[in-house]
Structure 1
Amino acid sequence: MSAPTSPADLYRHSLRLLLDKNIPAWVGLWAEGGVMEFPFAPQGWPERLAGKEAIAAYMRPYPDHIDLHDFPDLRIHQTTDPETIVVEMRSVGRLVETDSPFDMTYIAVVTAQDGRITSYRDYWNPLAVLEPGTDFTGSDR
């Protein structure tokens, strides 16, 4: 099966890989020079990851911290640029360490070229990480 090439199909495929906890395959959807940005990152968290290796290092421990169960309320909006989509979504699951529920809403601006993600701006709620006992990605921030 060939990899999805439209940004929307590629994004849907990336969510399936996250649910399957297949981080290596998820990273494989990225272009070598891809950039992941977190414009609302709180102090001490990365604001920008440049390159596939930096993104891989950041995402590698993700399943050890968050057990994702679903992405309800997924809405993908096409833009005037055919390579860029705007995504509204919610992810639900549990925090592995505390077994607490995980429920986060996101808006993402994603660009893909030649079937690979080149840019991902993740507008998640930084206030959620300020709640006591909440640790989404571990101590290696």
Structure 2
Amino acid sequence: MNRTAPTHRSPEEVFRHGLRLLLDQDVAGWIDLWAEDGVFEFPYAPEDRPRRLAGKPAVAAYMRAYPDHIELHDFPELTIHRTEDVRTIIVEMSAVGRLVATDGPFAMSYVAVVTVVDGRITHYRDYWNPLGIPASMRG
């Protein structure tokens, strides 16, 4: 069911809506923002983690357990840059929250390049720092 993203929304609107869904732990809603053939890439992922997910089912499988690991509380820093391609934005942001397994704090900075076509994410390249992976989420 595509209940979260009508077509023809700007990349910035889709991205901001996705952040709200993640804060609400609505992973199913976040996945609904994706195009069926969307690609999620992690160029700096460690060898034991996926570097490329192709298709909405692969994104869903990867994200399904996210709330079991991290409870996001806020994105205190968020800057969205437009590019010459109106479908693509570059995002600089930080996220803070709680690690579920340890009840400890979570903090991570990200740079993402996100392309949205007809209100759906078609490509998301996430440049997060693998050195920042909490020990409770490794292996």
TM-score, normalised relative to structure 2: 0.93
Measured at CA, do residues 103 and 2 of structure 1 come closer, stay the same or move farther in structure 2, by a change above 3 Å? closer
Q: Report Cα offsets for 1:92-135 as digits up to 9, x if no partner.
A: 00100001100000000000000000000000001112x5x331
Q: Distance in 1 between matches of 2:112 and 2:125?
A: 5
Kindly state the Cα deviation for residue 64 of structure 1 after the two structures are TM-superposed. 0.6
- Which structure 2 residue ranges, 5 or more long, are not aligned? none
Q: Distance in 2 between matches of 1:64 and 1:38?
A: 20
Aligned to 1:21: 25
- Which structure 1 residue ranges, 5 or more long, are not aligned? none
1:135 and 2:131 correspond: no
Select which of 43, 50, 53 maps to 2:47.
Answer: 43
Q: Give the 3-state SS of the residue equivalent to 1:5 in structure 2.
A: coil
Aligned to 1:112: 116
Aligned to 1:7: 11
Q: Give the 3-state SS of the residue equivalent to 2:85 in structure 1.
A: coil
Select which of 89, 93, 105 maps to 1:89.
Answer: 93
CA RMSD, 1 decimal? 1.5
Q: Distance in 2 between matches of 1:36 and 1:121?
A: 6
TM-score, normalised relative to structure 1: 0.91
User: Number of paired residues?
Assistant: 135
Q: Tell me the amino acid that sits aligned with residue 136 of structure 2.
A: T
1:102 and 2:126 correspond: no
Q: Tell me the amino acid that sits aligned with residue 15 of structure 1.
A: L
Q: Distance in 2 between matches of 1:88 and 1:30?
A: 20
List structure 1 runs of 4+ shifted beyond 6 angstroms. none
Kindly state the Cα deviation for residue 2 of structure 1 after the two structures are TM-superposed. 6.5
